[in-house]
Amino acid sequence: MAIYDVSATWQPAPVAADSVRLQGRILHVVLFLTLLSSFVAFVEPAPYEGMAALLVMAAVIARAPFDRKILPLVILLMVWNAGLLLALAPVTADQKAVTYPFVSLYLAVSAIIFACIVTTHSEERMATIRTAYVLAAFLASVLAIVGYFRIAAPDLLLYAGRAKSTFKDPNVFGPFLILPLLFLVQSLILKGPRLITLGTLGVILAALFLSFSRGAWGAFVLSAVVMIALMFVTTPSARFRARIAVLTLAAGGAVAALVAILLSLPAVTSMFEERASLVQSYDTGSGGRFTTQFRAWSQIFDYPNGLGPLQYAHHFGIDPHNDYLNAFYANGWIGGVAYPTLVILTLFVGFRALLVRTPWQPYLIAVFAAYIGSVAEGFIVGTDHWRHYYLLLGLVWGLAAATENARRAAIRWTRPLD
């Protein structure tokens, strides 16, 4: 596997004029507040929506560029949403169905904005995103633990005995924590154990466990394994590879110890016994989701325009719990093709970019690994309206564009003069 190094020739942006620096600072502040507000998701519209609108304005004022390399992202998102609008036509009497495409379009725009923002000043802006997101996850996790052990507001912070914190569903709360956890694990590997990192990591891990979201558990394990493997493969140092191996074993032991401590608490044990099974009662049987999904896949060719947004449950009696299936039924064949194409192309673009050694390579590796976990979880739960999914999507494309720009600049820098 070829690893390209452009870090030696990469140069930071030149010092800007005072007005430009002020615009950049404003963008960083708004970016920080947008990510920080992302953990408050139990009200609609959430604070994140308002901050995202401000973020668009701040990005325009700071002249965040639209790089043509993210054009495939824009085209596929627009095609996917065009299919949704076409499928909406027969069900416009359903108010929730009418609202659904507008939310989808807003989320698509958010992905594009995040891509534009990190295409330049990538390392600095990713550091801002990392700090804000980890803090948001920590605050949400503290509230989740407080609610789970009924210290305060259990009616608000729990759902069916599972921690959901300030989210509407534990199955959304759990995946929200994955990228911050990867950032913290990566920090432990790169910088060594620090008390504040270990403490924050422990709190967020405990909250992830107490969400009792099997999909989130699996997505985190998959994402962590992918991230560590990519860090191992892309480092040029044999000594650092040994460090990764040792710290990974130590981290695995620490996670096992944390889980053992949590399972020693009666309030945790009973819920774990209920949720630990890979297959639940609602998964199987004639009306179970897996049986229904099999029937739905066999009927796709009967609905070239799909059923329309949010109509799958009306037709089949249960939510799809599968992004790829839902793309066909909510967006028609157009969306059913566009969505997996977007996923595959994002994985290709992201993987190719993370092989290039840049100052922001560690961030890209973490984001890419989290994206893999998210699209894998999309086979068992709907993720296509999760705000953090679109954050991951935009960051992969934006950092990939920044990497390609750095690679081309390095080639020009090292090219001999005629």
354, pLDDT greater than 50: yes
pLDDT digit string, tens, across residues 221-232 = 999 999 999 999
Angle at 218 between CA 226 and CA 287, to 5 degrees: 140
Cβ-contact 177, 137 below 8 angstroms: yes
pLDDT digit string, tens, across residues 95-154 = 999 999 999 999 999 999 999 999 999 999 999 999 999 999 999 999 999 999 999 988
416, pLDDT greater than 60: no
pLDDT score of 284: 60
The mean pLDDT of 328-349, rounded to a whole number, is: 95
Q: How confident is the model at residue 11 (pLDDT cuts 50, 70, 90)?
A: low
16, pLDDT greater than 90: no
Would strands 4-5 and 356-357 be described as parallel, antiparallel, or unpaired? parallel
Look-up: residue for tokens 């998701």? 41
Cα 113 to Cα 132, 211, 214, 220, 304, distances in angstroms:
17, 30, 31, 26, 31
Cβ-contact 382, 322 below 8 angstroms: yes
Mean pLDDT (the chain) is: 89
The mean pLDDT of 401-410, rounded to a whole number, is: 91
Q: How confident is the model at residue 418 (pLDDT cuts 50, 70, 90)?
A: very low
What is the identity of the amino acid at 51? M
Contacts of 97 (CB under 8 A, 6+ apart): 88, 91, 308, 309, 310, 311
Cα 236 to Cα 5, 240, 241, 296, distances in angstroms:
10, 8, 8, 48
The mean pLDDT of 392-410, rounded to a whole number, is: 94
pLDDT score of 106: 93
Look-up: residue for tokens 């984001």? 367
Q: Encode burial over 106-143: b for 16+ CB neighbours within 10 A, e otherwise.
A: ebbbbbbbbbbbbbbbbbebbebbbebbbbbbbbbbeb
Q: Encode burial over 176-191: b for 16+ CB neighbours within 10 A, e otherwise.
A: bbbbbbbbbbbbbbee
Q: Which residue has the higher pLDDT, 31 or 19?
A: 31
Q: How confident is the model at residue 417 (pLDDT cuts 50, 70, 90)?
A: very low
Cβ-contact 404, 122 below 8 angstroms: no
pLDDT score of 85: 94
Cβ-contact 328, 356 below 8 angstroms: no
Q: Where are the alpha helices (DSSP H) in 264-288?
A: 266-275
Residue 356 forms beta bridges with which residues?
Answer: 4
pLDDT digit string, tens, across residues 162-216 = 999 999 999 999 999 999 999 999 999 988 889 999 999 999 999 999 999 999 9
Domain chopping of the chain, boundaries: 16-414
What is the identity of the amino acid at 63? R
88, pLDDT greater than 90: yes
